[in-house]
Amino acid sequence: MFSSISKITPKELEQQMHHESVQVIDVRSRDEVRQGKIPAAENIPLDELPERMEELDRYEEYVMVCRSGNRSAKAAKHLHQNGFHVKNMTGGMMKWQGDIEA
């Protein structure tokens, strides 16, 4: 269904973050994010994404994150269709083993 969207595993993302700056967008609700998020991730809830796309840089690559990977796949597809470079983190925060910030 979302085969044209690149995927990244939580472990790959964690390793990449140790070596370079990575733009992570967490599309969960604000209440979900309050329970903890990937450090430096920006929270743009999925339902706000269409009107907040202008905040994003088309020359950057973004990694989309949610709880399980489904909402972030939808967000990645939407951004991809609008000319953005995106990856979807498979398994979402349920599979994230790295650091979490409140």
Active site residue 95: no
Tens of pLDDT along the chain (102 residues) come to: 445 899 999 999 999 999 999 999 999 999 999 999 999 999 999 999 999 999 999 999 999 999 999 999 999 999 999 999 999 999 999 999 999 998
Long-range CB contacts (< 8 A, 24+ apart) of 96-99? 96/10, 96/14, 96/38, 96/65, 97/10, 97/11, 97/14, 98/10, 98/13, 98/14, 98/17, 98/38, 99/38, 99/39
Q: Which of 13, 27, 33, 66 is catalytic?
A: 66
Q: Report the predicted TM-score, pTM, of the whole model to 2 decimal places.
A: 0.94
Residue boundaries of the structural domains of the chain: 6-95
Please give the CATH architecture assigned to the domain spanning 6-95: 3-Layer(aba) Sandwich (3.40)
